Amino acid sequence: MAGEEENRKKTGRALLDKEAYRNNYWRLGFRSRLYDLFTPRAYTESLSRAAALVPDAGLCLDAGCGSGQLIPLLARRGESCPLYLGADKLAEGLARARERAGRACFLRWDLTAETPFAAASIDVVVAHFSIYTLDDPPARLMAWRNLFELTRPGGQLIAANPSTHYSAETIIEHSLNSEQVQRGPLIAWLKRVFIAPITRHLGLAYIQRQLEEGGFHAYTPETFSAEVESAGWRVKAVEPVYAGSGILLTARRP
Ligand SMILES: C[S@@+](CC[C@H](N)C(=O)[O-])C[C@H]1O[C@@H](n2cnc3c(N)ncnc32)[C@H](O)[C@@H]1O
């Protein structure tokens, strides 16, 4: 009996360590601003695609907003920009996001905990690469369900998560090619030499390892759709993003 109790404590501690390590990974990235500095172009393209799908006006909740990289992409619309609400469980991400904010409100919220929003009060939810960090299927279901409850009938979900084809190498190569086309050979070379190795080793390789070992969750279009639909959403479309390493899904609340 004492042995069982000791094992349970050890497992609990291991889980806490894993969770603490993951949280500290984002925390450090946000606090140091390395998260923004080392974001590969393929990721920004995925965010731009998500932003383009957000309708004008209304209330937009960025669920797991991190450092708020979605904010400037929406703000480009000027007056027709929707009102932005950012929610994240980490204060460090919210602090960075607040610095960018124009018309915005922020809230510290763990998406798996009781929702602080009134039911059916939000027009569109964006969950861009946030829910895959929950390795526990019931926790992910709880998050999709919470987002469903706070969205008005007819409202939308725009969500992205890693695909089972996630490849750090492909993301880097796609991003550097895109830099070359968009910003020219000098910037692409500088990025290749000084930025890409750090992005690859400190960021993408860590995420790829977590996806392979089950610390983070990777999806196929079918498993992504099934998980979201099990929370009540009706999936409208799925498309590849992030150089094929991600899936962008749109759904609506019936
Ligand atoms: C890869 S970052 C994505 C940030 C932002 N959506 C973007 O695309 O730049 C993952 C974010 O999800 C947040 N997150 C993970 N699990 C969460 C949860 N249970 N509740 C709230 N935020 C969560 C993390 O704190 C982190 O800020």
Residue 6 has pLDDT above 90, yes or no: no
Span 59-110, pLDDT tens digits: 999 999 999 999 999 998 888 888 999 999 999 999 999 998 767 899 999 9
Q: Is the CB of 112 under 6 A from ligand 1?
A: yes
When pLDDT is averaged across residues 146-166 and rounded to a whole number, the result is 98
Q: Is the CB of 125 under 6 A from ligand 1?
A: no
Question: What is the residue-averaged pLDDT of the chain?
Answer: 91
Q: Which atom of ligand 1 approaches the CA of 130 most closely?
A: 12
Q: Note the pLDDT of residue 29.
A: 86
The lowest-confidence range among 23-37, 152-166, 183-197 is 23-37
CA of 125 to the centre of ligand 1 (A): 13
CA of 154 to the centre of ligand 1 (A): 25
Q: Which atom of ligand 1 approaches the CA of 30 most closely?
A: 27
When pLDDT is averaged across residues 129-152 and rounded to a whole number, the result is 97
CA of 25 to the centre of ligand 1 (A): 11
Closest residue to atom 4 of ligand 1, CA basis: 66
Q: Is the CB of 110 under 6 A from ligand 1?
A: yes
Residue 229 has pLDDT above 60, yes or no: yes
CA of 181 to the centre of ligand 1 (A): 30
Name the pLDDT band for 184 (thresholds 50, 70, 90). very high
**What torsion, rounded to 10 degrees, do the Cα atoms 4, 142, 108, 49 define?**
130
Name the pLDDT band for 162 (thresholds 50, 70, 90). very high
Residue 37 has pLDDT above 50, yes or no: yes
Q: Note the pLDDT of residue 24.
A: 80
226, 217 contact by CB (below 8 A): no
CA of 64 to the centre of ligand 1 (A): 4
Q: Between 37 and 132, where is the model more confident?
A: 132
Q: Note the pLDDT of residue 34.
A: 83
Q: Between 79 and 235, where is the model more confident?
A: 235
Chain-centre distance of CA 121, in angstroms?
22
Residue 241 has pLDDT above 60, yes or no: yes
pTM of the full structure: 0.91
Angle formed at CA 245 by CA 154 and CA 41, multiple of 5 degrees: 90
Residue 124 has pLDDT above 80, yes or no: yes
Residue 13 has pLDDT above 80, yes or no: no
The residues that bridge with 126 in the sheet, in sequence order, are: 62, 158
Report d(CA 238, CA 73) in Å as an integer.
Answer: 21
Q: Note the pLDDT of residue 1.
A: 47
CA of 130 to the centre of ligand 1 (A): 4
Report d(CA 188, CA 196) in Å as an integer.
Answer: 10
Crossing angle of helices 41-53 and 168-183, in 10° steps, is 80
**Which residue reads 């910037």 in tokens?**
187
Report d(CA 156, CA 18) in Å as an integer.
Answer: 33
Residue 23 has pLDDT above 80, yes or no: no
Q: Is the CB of 149 under 6 A from ligand 1?
A: no
CA of 230 to the centre of ligand 1 (A): 21
Report d(CA 88, CA 133) in Å as an integer.
Answer: 12
* CATH number of the structural domain 1-254: 3.40.50.150
Q: Is the CB of 74 under 6 A from ligand 1?
A: no
Report d(CA 116, CA 43) in Å as an integer.
Answer: 29
Q: Note the pLDDT of residue 81.
A: 87
Q: Is the CB of 171 under 6 A from ligand 1?
A: no
Of 74, 51, 48, 43, whose CA–CA distance to 166 is shortest? Answer: 43
Q: Note the pLDDT of residue 4.
A: 62
Q: Between 145 and 3, where is the model more confident?
A: 145
